[in-house]
């Protein structure tokens, strides 16, 4: 009888550890998918923002060039 109890305990412990391992693996996969999705969402925003800043700086440089050429003496 004690052998049956030990076997039952061993099976139950094995099932419990297997379930815990599966849950941990699913949590890691969920976190990985979340990070990947966040990266895919942020990527276009960063690209658009950097393009916008670049265009803004180019426009500012053109404005300054136009102002300096207006004040520069003409030959």
In this predicted structure, what is the pLDDT of residue 73? Answer: 72
Length reported for the chain: 75
In this predicted structure, what is the pLDDT of residue 58? Answer: 97
CA angle 56, 59, 61 (to 5 degrees): 110
- Higher pLDDT pick, 71 / 60: 60
Q: Please determine, for residue 55, whether its predicted confidence score (pLDDT) is greater than 70.
A: yes
Q: Which two three-digit tokens encode residue 23?
A: 């849950």
């Amino acid at each position: 009888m004690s052998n049956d109890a030990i076997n039952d305990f061993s099976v139950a412990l094995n099932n419990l550890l297997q379930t815990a391992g599966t849950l941990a693996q699913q949590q890691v996969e969920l976190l990985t998918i979340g990070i990947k999705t966040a990266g895919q969402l942020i990527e276009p925003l960063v690209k658009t923002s950097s393009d916008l800043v670049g265009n803004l700086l180019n426009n500012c440089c053109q404005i300054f060039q136009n102002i300096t050429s207006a004040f520069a003496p003409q030959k």
